[in-house]
Amino acid sequence: MEKFVINGGVPLHGEVTVSGAKNAALAIIPAAILCRDVCRIENLPVSISDVRYMISTLKYIGATIKYIDRSTIEIDSRNVNSYMISHDMTKHLRASYYFIGALLGRFGKARVAMPGGCYLGPRPIDQHIKGFEALGATISVEDNAIVEATSSKLFGAPVYLDIVSVGATVNIMLAAARAEGMTIIENAAKEPHIVDLANFLNSMGADIRGAGTDVIKIRGTENLHGCTYSIIPDQIEAGTFMVAAAATRGNVLINNVIPKHLESISTKLIECGADIEEYDEAVRVSMTERPGKCNIKTMPHPGFPTDMQPQMAVLLSMAEGTSLISESIWSNRFRYTEQLQRMGARITVDGQIAMIHGVEKLKGAPVKADDLRAGAAMIIAGLCAEGRTEIEDVMHIKRGYENVVEKFSNLGADIRMVYSVDPFDINKVG
């Protein structure tokens, strides 16, 4: 079993470089099969497990992958020959369902098992299905386990999303890029990775306008071709280092970021007393005093990202005063607060609202990573806490943070990965 062991209390200092955006990569990798050609993808976070699973899935359906360097691959999708993806592959991550849109665009059919991923509450796909059906596909969901999509031809159409959904926006864009005529997605998601996917598809010869606003217009074409594309920096990884720098009362220069994508996070950190300097492609975050309280409501972009609320909750756990976090995207995103309570945080959760009474200090404790961002929050808590913190279930963290131990170590953190045997593992008892 892998664990992270952290001896806390060391302010972070130095420089860190953020990797390519996980959520953009997870949309762009399947998008590459929309052409029968070679796409070169740069600034790809190759070593995170979510990306590795997506690459394995590409290989399984017939694509050839060439590793050029530590963050660049070439995807040759000329020989992609299968439209079926089983549960063994999709169970690892949510974004595996982007293969439905991509295979539908490529072959006019897809048979893909329902996706896995972090449990943050119910994760329906009704808006994805609504979009595919609007384009003329017939969708059946067998035993809530396999999605089958078929169409003799896809035609562009208007699609109004009843709820702002990143996943549905991506999936509809993928299928619509190869449909005949114009698709207009209204009430579309505006996250940076939606814009990145649109830019990638446009580099392949697609005609997509309006990404980043809530109306996206996609004029489909059969003539997509290979391209070279560099993925944007990861907004959430950058935000995680920003919060870690402030929470440990350190001073860190975070390189390879797009400051505009970080505004909602910067604003809240400044409200808590952090100093933030913005450069063209970097931000410096420093904090000397105990943080002040603030209230946060998670919202779709450009609001405060739900994927940053566990990390901010750690900072607010040590703030002077009482803060409120209101979670408006996921119904079950406060499980990590139980772990923080073990470290001395005073948090009460009532439905979608967490009330955090700041304490002077957190104390090291054995905790676990309930999901990817909860795991990032545990790292920050461990870095701030007095004494030793051991984090179990770090596989969740490795889904989305590249070289996380090295990156924090380089900032002066006392963090290491250890392998341990569970003495109570009943399979090992003779």
Q: List, by residue number, the catalytic residues.
A: 118
CB of 153 to ligand UD1, least distance (A): 24
By CB under 6 A, name the one of 269, 329, 343, 415 that touches ligand UD1: 329
Pairing relation of β-strands 207-209 and 158-160?
unpaired
Distance in angstroms (rounded) separating the CA atoms of residues 214 and 200: 19
State phi, psi for 404 to the nearest 5 degrees. -65, -35
Helix H or strand E segment including 219: strand 215-220
Residue among 362 and 372 whose Cβ is closer to ligand UD1? 372
CB half-sphere exposure, 290, CA atoms < 13 A: 11
CB of 287 to ligand UD1, least distance (A): 26
Amino acid identity, residue 301?
H
Residue among 26 and 73 whose Cβ is closer to ligand UD1? 26
Residue among 12 and 216 whose Cβ is closer to ligand UD1? 216
Residue among 29 and 319 whose Cβ is closer to ligand UD1? 29
> The tokens 């963050």 sit on which residue?
71
CB of 96 to ligand UD1, least distance (A): 10
**Cβ neighbours, 10 Å, residue 146:** 17
By CB under 6 A, name the one of 3, 111, 128, 178 that touches ligand UD1: 128
**Cβ atoms of 103 and 112 closer than 8 Å:** yes
Question: Taking CB under 6 A as the rule, does residue 293 contact ligand UD1?
Answer: no
Q: What is the size of the binding site for ligand UD1 (CB under 6 A)?
A: 21
By CB under 6 A, name the one of 58, 104, 154, 168 that touches ligand UD1: 168
CB of 26 to ligand UD1, least distance (A): 5
**Cβ atoms of 328 and 356 closer than 8 Å:** no
Burial readout 61-99 (b: 16 or more C-beta within 10 A, e: otherwise): bebebeeeeebbbbbbbeebeebebeeebbebbbbbbbb
Binding mask 2-31 for ligand UD1 (x = CB under 6 A): ---------------------x--x-----
Distance in angstroms (rounded) separating the CA atoms of residues 316 and 273: 11
Residue among 21 and 384 whose Cβ is closer to ligand UD1? 21
User: Residue with the closest Cβ to ligand UD1?
Assistant: 167
By CB under 6 A, name the one of 123, 293, 335, 388 that touches ligand UD1: 123
Question: Which residues of the chain form contacts with ligand UD1 (CB under 6 A)?
Answer: 23, 26, 94-95, 122-128, 163, 165-168, 189, 306-307, 329-330
